[in-house]
A and B are shown apart, each in its own frame.
Chain A
Amino acid sequence: MNRSEPAQEQGPSARPAAATLEFREATKIYPGQDDPAVDALSLTVPAGEICVLVGPSGCGKTTAMRMVNRMIDITSGDILLDGRSVRERRPAELRREIGYAIQQIGLFPHLTVADNIATVPRLLGWPKDRTRARVDQLLELVSLDPADTRDRYPAQLSGGQRQRVGVARALAADPPLMLMDEPFGAIDPINRERLQNEFLRLQKEIRKTVVFVTHDIDEAIKMGDRIAVLQRGGKLAQYAPPAELLMYPNGRFVEDFVGADRALKRLALQRVRDIDLWKAPLVRVGEPVADARRKVQDSDVPYPLLVDADGRPLGWLSERALTGERVTEDLRSKAEPAVELDDVLRDALSDLLANEAQYGPVLDARGAVAGVLSLEIIGHALQEPPEQVRSGADALAADG
């Protein structure tokens, strides 16, 4: 999606919405140290994708990220931004083209929210009214009310609001590349989850190339289109999309790092709506029993599911309900658990296990039955080749 905003088309700073980033044997050896912090790192991040650099502390992931905008100088090798070496760029100029968000956020305490966000546009010499319009647009983009937030100082914001302002500031000049160093690391788990989802939703819209650093493998799996696992000494252990990484870890280190529950983690990448469900034998009260029996035969489910006029599940029918001419309301059990199309498979599996059920009805947004999910289907989903599994911003529900 190459969406070009009107703001991009005017002015000298118009540039593509996203850039391709390529590490070529990029190496960093700090002065006075024998071992490299980043060792001949080679990988390519396609335009518009989120690449997560993940690994234990001391693996060089932050160093690798900071070499991109030359906050740390490259010892040997190269990093190319849209085919052009960052080494031949003047650092300050290069950095103005690259969004930069860090864990501690680093908002300027003496400037208002609006002035903080306007930092790079002002460095680039944007006209005042364009900058002002951009600030309001960005505040809305990160779910903050411009009128309420614009003139506040950072000290007057909550942690989550500050983080959003930090992201807005990094996006201010519409950079083709974003660098994010544990941007949600200092936020409590509930708000972190919300900010992650918000960022993925945002990314779906803006499609930037993003280098995202984290030490948290779950965050990496959630955020990344591709994940680069680094190990101590700055060596790249594996570079792959999340599903592939979880299914085919290429060695002991990655296997240990992604964890023993990697199959379950994979289930977190897929949503119920992404897999083929069983057809549910839906029957209504008063329906001929012969029809109901036929529906059960056509289905993988052994019992008919009674639904109301709107298709909402009432429960599984007992054998006695099918003894007469017409179906009666004689239930064997309630239709539990009911899972939703937007649930990730891991949560759906957990629901099934908690109810000691082999299968359960799947409901659509209106609460009507869309199919049946069973342990067997989930088992099949685990065998799906990783390229079928969507990741990063694409994994979000279409209506999300």
Chain B
Amino acid sequence: MLDLIAQVQIQDRSSGDASCVADNGFCPSWIVDNLNRYTDPLLQHVYLTIVSLAIGFAISFGLALIAHRRRWLVAPITQITGVLYTLPSIAVFFLLLPITGRGNTTAIIALVAYSLLIIFRNIIAGLDNVPAETKDAGRGMGLTDRQLLWRVELPLALPEILAGLRIAATTTVGLATLAFFAGAGGLGERIFEDIVFKSNVVTAGALAVLLAAAFDVVILIVQRAVTPWARARAS
């Protein structure tokens, strides 16, 4: 099995300050020398996060648009996605294993399930916060429901929608550290493979934190770029 071979390879702690490494200590020189070992897990982590967020956003967006027209659906959708959100993540990975097997699919399904509630609720909140008079004026000028949604309601809901995406992104980066239980690798695999070695844990952990921060900043920059009106105030 490839995973087992990978484990054997990572536990080979050649190079660097030998005594520090032998003590499982925090060894900057070892980290510098071995940084390339983390490239593939990091990219796998990014891949899991982006794919899960994209799918999660697509599903939440669809559900939100349906629930926006049929308000009675908001409560049941919130409840169902809420249940998905509260299930213990490791349990979900193990529950899915017999059905979808080890690998990315299982991990992504679980990560998507976690993102739904956050994104769905934020899209609904964003649409609800559009001022009633803005919608009334739009309709009164002859915008159809669809035009109102795409030209007025969704643009005005963008700050909340993107705020939801930011929370979902950081949560997903965090949860993806458990994706190796489903055999999907990622930074979590590195951590748990040699959890007694401080240098390893700190490096993999720090990369996960930086990744979460990077997603947050990128989405924030996008949000500011697409909502110039939100910063426009009387000068």
Contact = CB atoms under 8 A, between A and B. Distances in A.
A145 to B, nearest CB: 16
Contact of A71 (B134, B139, B147, B235): B139
A380 interface: no
Contact of A120 (B131, B141, B155): B141
Contacts of A155: 229, 232-234
A85 interface: no
Contacts, number: 81
A123 B234 contact: no
Given A92-B144, A100-B141, A123-B142, A109 B134 contact: yes
B232 A156 contact: yes
**Which residue among B135, B141, B142, B152 has the maximum number of chain A CB atoms within 10 Å of its CB?**
B141
B205 interface: no
A95 B139 contact: yes
Interface of B is mostly: helix
Contact of B138 (A93, A94, A104, A108): A108
A69 interface: yes
Nearest to A103: B133
A107 interface: yes
Interface string A43-80: 00000000000000000000000000101000000000
Contact of B137 (A93, A100, A110, A123): A100
Contact of A105 (B133, B156, B228): B133
Contact of A106 (B138, B155, B228, B229): B138
A110 B137 CA distance: 14
Contact of A108 (B134, B232, B233): B134
Interface residues of A, number: 32
Nearest to B233: A155
B147 to A, nearest CB: 8
B133 A106 contact: yes
A298 B152 CA distance: 71
B169 to A, nearest CB: 24
B232 A119 contact: no
B227 interface: yes
A334 interface: no
Nearest to A119: B141
A246 interface: no
Contacts of A97: 142
A357 interface: no
Contact of B227 (A69, A71, A106, A110): A110
A102 B139 CA distance: 12
Contacts of B142: 91-97, 120, 123
Contacts of A107: 134, 137
Interface in B93-140: 131, 133-140
Shortest 7 CB-CB distances between A and B: which pairs? Answer: A106-B137, A96-B142, A104-B133, A100-B140, A95-B142, A153-B232, A106-B133
Interface of B: 131, 133-144, 147, 152, 155-156, 227-229, 232-235
Given A91-B142, A106-B136, A108-B137, 16 more contacts: A69-B140, A94-B142, A95-B139, A95-B141, A102-B133, A102-B136, A102-B137, A107-B134, A107-B137, A108-B156, A110-B152, A120-B141, A123-B147, A152-B232, A156-B235, A169-B141
16 contacts: A69-B140, A91-B142, A95-B140, A95-B141, A95-B142, A104-B136, A108-B156, A109-B156, A110-B156, A120-B142, A152-B232, A153-B229, A155-B229, A156-B233, A156-B234, A166-B137
